[in-house]
Amino acid sequence: MKTKVLVTGANGQLAKTIHKLCIQNDKEIDFTFVSKNDLDITEVEDIIKHLVHHNYDYCINCAAYTNVEEAEKNSEKAFKVNAESVKNLAKVCKESNTVLIHISTDYVFDGEKGEPYSTNDMPNPINEYGKSKLKGEIYIQDILEKYFIVRTSWLYSKEFGHNFYRTIIEKTKTEKKLFVTNNEKGCPTNTINLSNFLIDLIKTKSKKYGIKHFCDAVEMTWFDFAEKILKENKLLKKITLVGAKKYLTFARRPRNSVLINTKD
C-alpha cells in the first residue's frame, strides 16, 4: 500500500518542486497537493475535511506567510498563518494520527552567534516573520509527538516562484548596476535538495522525530550568491555587481544564519 501524503501550499516553489520530482520518479508515495483555494489552513474546518476524512500518513506543510518585510507591517496576518493556523493543523494531525512535516526557517535565530547554528541553539528571532515561525514551532512541540520541524535557509528554485535566484537573473534585463548586501551570511538551499530530504524522511519511515536543520551547506553572503548566480548563467559581464555594507530594509535580519545540517 502506498504512503499517503498531503502537501499544503501547492503554488509555492517548494511544493511545486516536490510535485515535479514525484511525478517523474515516485511510485511508493501517493501525493495530494492542495493550494489555498483547496485548503485554507487558517480555516479549521478545511483542515479537518482534508486530514481526518482522507487518512493521510504524512502532511508536509509548505503553506506559510513568507514576506519578511510585510510581516513587520502586518504581524497579525503573519502570526495567523505561521502560528495559529499551524496550531490548528497540529491538533488535527494528532487527531488523525498524521505525521506533520513542517517547514521552518533560519530566521528563528538572531544571527549574533559567531558560528553556525545547531538544533540545540536557543532561538531568538529579531523580526516578526521569525517570531511567527518560532511560535508555530512551539505549538507543534506542545501538541505533537510525531513531527518533523525542518528549518532551512535562503530557499530558492531555479524554475519556480519568486526568489533571490530568479530575481537576480531578471535584474540583468533592466539594470546596469546591482547593489547586494555582503553583510549577511547563510546557506542558499535549492528546493530540489530540500525536497529529496523530505521525501527521504517519508520513504525511510524515520522515527527520529523533532527539529531538523537542512541546507546546502555552502556558506556565503548574498553578494557571493548573486555573483555565483551570474557566473552560472554567464551574465556577469552584463551587469556591475556592487557589495553594499548598508542595505536598508524595514525588517531586521540576522547577520549570520548559517545552519549545521542534522546528521540523523
Show which residues are catalytic: 129
Give strand pairing partners of 259. 117
Distance from first CA to last CA of the chain, Å, rounded? Answer: 26
Most distant CA pair in the chain, distance = 56
